[in-house]
Structure formats: C-alpha cells, structure tokens
Chain A
Amino acid sequence: MGYSADSIRYLHIAYTIFITVQVAYVAWLAARWKRVTSAIATTRPPGA
C-alpha cells in the first residue's frame, strides 16, 4: 500500500530532531562536566 510522501518525510524529520537534540544535550552535559572538573582541579579545597 502506498502512503503519502508527507507521512515518510515527517517521520524522518521527527526522529532526526529526537536524536539530534538528545545527542546535543549529552554533548553539552559532557562539556560542562569536563569544564567543572578541570576548574575544581585548579582550585584549592576549603581548609587547604
């Protein structure tokens, strides 16, 4: 059975957005983790 091109197009757009946004969020989280970890390493702990 043939379906409209729109049906397939919107499906592809939706999953592209789902995956791209979540990958971007994970990359942002990783960058933030890396930045704070290196900042902690160069800061003296309380009482040191």
Chain B
Amino acid sequence: MKTLFTILAAVAVVLLGFGLYQAFLVAPTEATMGPVQRIFYWHVPLNIIGEITPYVNMLASIAYIFLRGRNQLAARRADALAVASAEVTVLFVGLGLIGGILWGRPAWGIWWAWDARTTSTLLLLLLYVSYLLLRRFSDGPGSRTIAAVLSIFAGVDVPIVFMSIRWWRTQHPAPVLTGDGEIDPVMKSAFAWNLLAFFIWGIVLIWARYATLRREQALAEREALQLIGVA
C-alpha cells in the first residue's frame, strides 16, 4: 500500500506540474480577459473536486452512523475517512473561492458578487468549516454522530452549487464546458490535464490524512488503555 501511495503521489505531483505547463505555456491567452483567465485552469478543477469530496464525506458519515453500534473498527475507519474528506473539501473549495475572488476583481470589476453560485459555494465552505470545528472542539462518540448528521445535511448543498448557474441568473458565467459555450480545444485539453491532476491529488491528500487519522486513533486507544491500567 505504501508503494502504491508513493507512486500515486509522484504521479499527482508530475501531473500538477504538467498542468501548470499546459495552463501557462500551451493554452492560448483568452481574448477578452487576458492572462487572468488562466486562473480557470486551477479554479475550476479545485471546485469540481471540491464538489465530489463532500460525497465521500457524506457516504463515510452514513457508514459511521450505520456501523457505530455494530462494528467499532469499521466505524472508526469510516469516521477517519469522513474527517479526511471534509478537510480536503475545505482546502479545495476555499482555494477555489479565493481564485474566483481574484479572477472576479479584474474581470467583473468587483471582488465579490452575492449571486447564487458564489453564495452557495461560500455556504458549502462554511458548512465544512463548521464540521471540522465541531470535530476539533468537542470530543466523544456523541460529537462524531452529530458531525456525521451535519455532513449529510451539508451534502445537500452540493447539487445546489452545481445547478445554481442553471437555475438562476447569476454574475458567474453559464456552463462553459457542458453548456452551449464553445471553448478552444487547446484550452479544453489544458483544463482536462489539470482536472485529472486534481482528481489524483485529491485522492493522495485524502489517503495521507486518513492514514494519519488512523494512527492518531490507534495512539488515543493505547493512551486510554494505559490510563485505565489495561496495557
């Protein structure tokens, strides 16, 4: 497993570097917005993967709720996966939002638009920040269950974020890749490389955080057993 992780991490780093090369040196400069449009090549993949990781969190949370009274080991694994995916969600969605703000300033002339896409994405970020704060500042199986329930509700925001530019008139552009808009094939290819890079990078980060959390759970178990004099 360690070898597989190392290979996957190396592939992700190489692909991220190749993605940057594609974004900065291969893709043409967009005619209207100029160089700032190149934020697109990381902003969009960060947000797309940041809309997949909440479902990992949600499924792991459902598994935790189902398993907690039946199989303690499997429940702890599910819980670690839920926390790992929530952290990566905050990282990716947070960076995606920052990219959007920095793109919006020169493109729209404003830092922030309270439109459906940006607001629902901010809500998604705040929901997962609250999930992590809940996990950080409260302890015990009760808090894990409450956080798992919160994550199920938080997952409901994801389809709202995705559909927001289809359901409502927004400042944010309409779908470029799946809508009617046309995109230069070289731009599309550069975007696809970056999307693949972030997909693998997301797996690597969740895997690394999951492994750390499992070790922390094992350490907590050992310390608890020492405390009561069993070990």
Contacts and interface: CB of A to CB of B under 8 A. Distances in A.
Interface string A32-48: 11001101100111111
A33 B211 contact: yes
Contacts of A18: 42, 46, 95, 98-99
B91 A36 contact: no
B35 A25 contact: no
Contacts of B39: 10-11, 14-15
Which bucket holds chain B's interface residue count?
35 or more
Given A10-B103, A13-B102, A33-B208, A22 B231 contact: no
21 contacts: A3-B29, A3-B34, A3-B35, A4-B34, A6-B105, A7-B34, A10-B103, A14-B99, A14-B102, A17-B95, A18-B95, A18-B98, A21-B91, A29-B212, A33-B208, A33-B215, A36-B212, A43-B222, A43-B223, A44-B222, A44-B231
Interface of A: 1, 3-4, 6-8, 10-11, 13-15, 17-18, 21-22, 25-26, 29, 32-33, 36-37, 39-40, 43-48
